[in-house]
Structure 1
């Protein structure tokens, strides 16, 4: 596939682009964990350009923690790019170590992902690659350890790409996902120590879909039992306040007794503050 590029990029970003290409070209065949977010999308798109469609397979994990519409988004994006794609079922929801929702929940989630990806990779004699970026290294991400222990590679990290650089490079390539908000797994909305269940995951999914329907660009609904805590970007807090009655009505209709708005705004990985050392930031 010939990459279509828009305009010029900085020297530093060009060097990152070259390092990414070099990392991918060293691999004879890859299976890309493809969530449809900008990180995995850039990785899959670059792999397709470097190795060709016979040597790349994008795989999306279909699980109870995947938000509605995300699987179809991955399917249509792959079709648009001519990217070979399939979905696999992951079974983290059957693992008691995952369900207890300790600080290592993400480890067991990625472990289940690798359970699904490794057989595909072995069959294709391929390497499993994940869209982990440099910024992720500073967050509480035990899933990275699980993936590495199972043999996954992180080409974006090898290339020195952080989130801003990834978005800039995706824009340079004209990828429509370049500014797509992150969509972490739904379990990340449930505070550590509160057991994960299919019912809770579906409750979060419905709540976020409802809030997103009010026109917010990015949304998290943290689930505290009877209380829903809404997070939207700081720039959209005034809009949330202006629609507070409608938001309360929408979420109480879904079973919540109380609806709150986080005045600090949306912070990805917010609940990780409970397990990070004092003074750490994400």
Structure 2
């Protein structure tokens, strides 16, 4: 099956839209192949502001409708307590709200941007999507992350080389309660690095320490700019550390 086949068979769909590489290409493809598609972006404490800005920009560039839904991610105690399977409860919360709104808007087929490279066995959120019968056209059509990036580049989408981005909750260790304050501190610290030109990084909360993780190719720059980085991040974390092993791409 190709995406064209998928959207021929399912020509009225609601997309859980993050503004990332995968869901952006999926939104583009749906419009390209003539589907009636409505994108739903759920804005909670787990998404930084730049993700919403990217979602708005992409939807505008491809001419797709975008519904922005505000959600308190921490209203679910199972999410706030941050267990190993937090993503299961979070996806239930997010897509439960999307399903409800999409039904009101007349959409019964819900899709998301999971691709064929994503390991379903290691993703509690995937189990939640399956239970809610959310479909993943990229996975169904065998399109990997590399495929999506290549196709996005060919389509001229600005998201083609956007780094993969996991939500802010992943910066807090499992078992430690997630609070608005902790998320604010992480987002503020990461904004400092973003404004300095770094990409594909994380600042993880480890007690009172902000642990900076960057790809190995950016580590020299972090060390060279350590004084400026420390000055910028100090309002958010009492201590700052650098992970010398470099950032791994899995989260």
The TM-score, its normalising length taken from structure 1, stands at 0.84
Residue in structure 2 matching 1:240, options 219, 222, 232: 222
Q: What is the correspondence of 1:212-231 to structure 2 with a 5 Å cutoff? A: 212-231=194-213
Match of 2:116 among 134, 155, 159: 134
2:49 and 2:102 map into 1 onto residues whose CA distance is: 27
SS of 1:36's partner is coil
1:222 and 1:34 map into 2 onto residues whose CA distance is: 25
Deviates more, 1:84-93 or 1:172-181: 84-93
Please give the alpha-carbon distance, in whole angstroms, between the structure 1 residues aligned to 2:249 and 2:80.
21
- Residue in 2 that maps onto 1:143: 125
Matched, 1:105 2:86: yes
Give distance in 2, aligned partners of 1:161 and 1:261. 35
1:67 aligns with 2:48: yes
Contact 2:14–2:107, Cα closer than 8 Å, also in 1: no
Name the residue aligned to 1:77.
Answer: 58
RMSD (Å), alpha carbons: 1.5
Count residues in correspondence.
Answer: 250
Partner Cα separation in structure 2 for residue 159 and residue 234 of structure 1: 33
Question: Which residue of the partner structure matches residue 178 of structure 2?
Answer: 196
- SS where residue 135 of structure 1 aligns? coil
In structure 1, the gaps of 5 or more residues are 1-17, 271-282
> How much has 1:115 moved relative to structure 2?
1.6
Within 2, Cα distance between the matches of 1:140 and 1:247? Answer: 34
Per-residue deviation, 1:139:
6.6
Q: Which stretches in structure 2 are left out of the alignment for 5+ residues? A: none
> TM-score scaled by structure 2?
0.94
Partner of 1:57, secondary structure, is strand
The yes-or-no answer on 1:49 pairing with 2:32 is: yes
Deviating more after overlay: 179-188 vs 136-145: 136-145
Which residue does 1:19 correspond to in 2?
2
Match of 2:142 among 123, 140, 160: 160
Residue 11 of structure 2 aligns with which residue?
A: 28
Contact 1:204/1:223 (8 A) holds in 2: yes
